[in-house]
Amino acid sequence: MNTTQEVRVPSESRVPPRKRRGEGIVVTAAPTVAFVAANALGDLTAALVTAGVTAIAAFGWRLYRRQPVRQAVLGLLLVAACAAVATVTGEARGFFLIPALIPFAVIAVCVTTVLIGRPLTGLVLNRVAGGPADWRCVPRLRRIHTVSTLTCAAVNVVNGALQVVYYRDDQPLVLGIVHIATGPVFAVIVAITIAFVRRAKAGPAAPAPLSAVRPPRVR
């Protein structure tokens, strides 16, 4: 009789995509939720400690779920940087200074990638959606990613404006709500973009890529 049992760690690939996205949103938002709640019930020190402990727990959970190490490390470093700013400023709103600046960087990236003909969502999501390597030469797919990238830019304009307003008004609770709400919004944009790309692939044959169109030979 074999008394040893194989311990199976949940694999990321075995988790349904929808559940995986929802889990990612919850884990990402957990340190912010912990910070806002602890700050409302106690003081800044308690909020920073609570956020730090929650961030470490989230880091461990991501490793346990075998998510990419880079993603887990970036999440931990972001919380550490936010906590450092709050410690230096001595204000709870300082925790949201970096998140308030991120939307403006994303806007610049989105606009730049559209202008150079390489929309950001195409660069990030094309492989996930199963798109062709030359998606930039397929008008239908390029149009989908252009609209999706500009939508991301528009959402970040609203997000950045709200965070600037409430940062100036010293409203850490509202800042936390705005920061948390951005996760589901962008998850929806990602899901819709992937769905449109896959529908475009499954629909009528797409026009030949521009790179495949060659002028006739002159004899």
- Give the tens place of pLDDT for each residue, 76-116: 899 999 999 999 999 999 999 999 999 999 999 999 999 99
- Give the tens place of pLDDT for each residue, 110-150: 999 999 999 999 999 999 999 999 999 999 999 999 999 99
Write the burial class of residue 186 (CB in 10 Å: 0-12 exposed, 13-18 middle, 19+ buried).
middle
User: Token pair of 212, please?
Assistant: 């495949």
Model pLDDT, residue 5: 45
Closest to 90 (Cα-Cα) out of 177, 180, 170: 170
User: Token pair of 209, please?
Assistant: 């890529």
- Give the tens place of pLDDT for each residue, 23-61: 777 888 899 999 999 999 989 999 999 999 999 998 888
Q: What is the SS3 assignment for 174? A: helix
Model pLDDT, residue 73: 86
Closest to 15 (Cα-Cα) out of 66, 89, 81: 66
Asked if 91 and 170 count as a contact pair (C-beta separation under 8 A), the reply is: yes
User: Token pair of 1, please?
Assistant: 């009789």
Asked if 139 and 209 count as a contact pair (C-beta separation under 8 A), the reply is: no
123 Cβ partners below 8 Å, 6+ apart? 113
- Give the tens place of pLDDT for each residue, 146-165: 999 999 999 999 999 999 99
Average pLDDT in the 204-219 region? 51
**Integer Cα distance of 75 and 130 in angstroms:** 27
**Integer Cα distance of 61 and 41 in angstroms:** 26
